[in-house]
Amino acid sequence: MLERLFQLKAHNTNVRTEILAGVTTFLAMAYILFVNPSILGSTGMDKGAVFVATCLAAAIGSAVMGLIANYPIALAPGMGLNAFFTYTVVLHMGHTWQVALGAVFISAVCFFLLSIFKVREWIVNSIPLPLRSAIAAGIGLFLALIALQNAGIVVDNPATLVGLGDLKQPGAILAALGFILIVGLEALKVRGAVLIGILAVTVVSILFGFSPFGGLVSMPPSLAPTFLQLDIAGALDIGLVSVIFAFLFVDLFDNSGTLIGVAKRAGLMGKDGHMPKMGRALIADSTAAMAGSLLGTSTTTSYIESAAGVSAGGRTGLTAIVVAVLFLLALFFAPLAGSVPAYATAPALLFVAVLMASGLAEINWDDLTEAAPVVVTALAMPLTYSIANGIAFGFITWTAVKLVSGRARDLNPALIILSVLFVIKLGWFNA
C-alpha cells in the first residue's frame, strides 16, 4: 500500500529511511509547539487551545502535503506570520484575535484561488528577487526584536524608544545562554538543536525556581476556546485589506521559497528547472492555512526545516505523514508546553531571525537602486512593528527609485499597480 501511495522504489528510498527522515524533520521544527502558544497567547487566546490547534494544523497540513503532492515537506503555523498576527494586527492595530483569524482565513482562500487559477506564478515572477530577500530579512529582524523583548534584554525607553534591559535578571541570562547553545549545537549538526535549547532553558528555569512546572503529559486541552471563533465579517473591514494582503503575500513567497529550496535539495526539480506538482503543493498549503484558521491558529505554511529530513534521506510524502503522526502524539504533552516561559522561546526566535536575515547576502550592494529599497523594507518591519508596512515601504521605494534614476525598464505592471495601491493605503487610511 505504501509503495502504491508514495512510489518509494521510483524515488530510490524505503520505509525505514522515510520514517527516520520524518522523525528528523519533526525534531527540527517541534519548537513551534512551544513558541506558537507563547506568541498567540499574548493576544488573550487560550494557550492550551492554541497548542492543540498548532498540533492539529501541523498534522493536517503535513498529511495533506504528503498525500496530495507526495513531497517530504512538513507544515505548521509559520514563524513571522504568528508574530505579525499577535504584535501588529491585535496588539498594535487593536483588532480582536477573532478578526485576525478571519483575516488569516480570507488570505488562505485567496491563496487557494490563486493556486487553482495559476495566478501565483505571475505574482511571484513579477516581484524582484532583492525585494523577496528583503521581506524575509525584515521578518527576521522583526522576530529578533520580539525575542529580545521577551528575554528582557531590550526594553522600552521614553527618551530613546528602546534601551537595554536589566541583564542581571534570570530571563535575560538564560535566554542568552540558550541562544549560544542553539547556535553551537546547530553548528555541530545536532538534530533538534532548537528544541534542545528551549527545553534546556526551561529545565534550568524550573530547577532554580524561576518558573513553575505544570507537568509532562496529560489528555489534550479543550480546543473549544478557539475552534470556529474566527470573525470573517469583521476581517472584511476596508482597513484590514493590507493585513489580509500581508498574510497572503508573505505566505506566497515563504511557500515558494521553501518548496523550491527543499525540492532542489531532494533532487525533485524537473530538468527544466521547474518543480513538478507545484500546484498540488500550493493547494495543500492553502488548505492547511484554512484549516488552521478554523481551528484557531495563525497561517500554516511549509517549513524549511523539512530540509533536515531530506538530508536524512526523505524523498516522498511518507516523510510528511510521519511528521503528521508525531504532531498528533505531541497533543499529549500540553503541560510541558505550558511550562515553557517566554524567555525560553526567545532564543529560538532569535535563531530563526539569524536564518531569515541571511538572504541579505544575496543583495547587490553596489547597485543603490536595489540596496536602498532592501534596507528600507528590512528596517521598516521591526521599527513600525508591522510586516505589512515593511512590504508597503519596500514596494513604494523600489518603484520610485527606479523611476527617478531612469530605470523604468526594471519595473513591471504588477509592481507599479501594487506601489500605487500602497501609496493610497498609507496616505489615505492612516491620515
Q: What is this structure's pTM?
A: 0.76
- Give the integer Cα–Cα distance in Å for 198 and 185: 12
Question: In this predicted model, what pLDDT tens digit does every residue of 2-61 receive, in sequence order?
Answer: 777 777 777 777 888 888 888 878 877 888 888 899 889 989 999 889 999 999 999 999
pLDDT of residue 185: 92
- Give the integer Cα–Cα distance in Å for 145 and 153: 10
- Mean pLDDT calculated for residue range 253-264: 68
Whether residue 383 is predicted with pLDDT greater than 80 in this model: the reply is: yes
pLDDT of residue 124: 64
Question: In this predicted model, what pLDDT tens digit does every residue of 111-149 receive, in sequence order?
Answer: 888 877 767 666 666 778 788 788 878 878 888 888 898
Q: Which three cell numbers stand for residue 110?
A: 485567496
- Give the integer Cα–Cα distance in Å for 69 and 63: 10
Percent of the chain predicted with pLDDT > 90 = 21
Q: pLDDT: is 177 or 72 the higher one?
A: 177
3 state SS for 297-316: CCCEEECCCHHHHHHCCCCC
Percent of the chain predicted with pLDDT > 70 = 92
- Mean pLDDT calculated for residue range 243-257: 74
pLDDT of residue 149: 86
pLDDT of residue 271: 62
CB 387, CB 381: distance < 8 Å? yes
What is the CB neighbour count within 10 angstroms for residue 204?
A: 17
Q: pLDDT: is 128 or 210 the higher one?
A: 210
Residue-averaged pLDDT of the chain: 83
Angle at the Cα of 144 (from 141 to 147), degrees rounded to 5?
155
- Give bridge partners of residue 75 from the DSSP assignment: 302
pLDDT of residue 431: 39
Question: In this predicted model, what pLDDT tens digit does every residue of 333-372 receive, in sequence order?
Answer: 888 877 888 888 888 878 888 887 887 888 889 999 999 9
What is the CB neighbour count within 10 angstroms for residue 245?
A: 20
Q: Which three cell numbers stand for residue 82?
A: 504568528
- Give the integer Cα–Cα distance in Å for 156 and 355: 26
3 state SS for 335-396: HHHHCCCHHHHHHHHHHHHHHHHHHHHHCCCCCHHHHHHHHHHHHHHHHHCCHHHHHHHHHH
Q: Which three cell numbers stand for residue 98?
A: 477573532
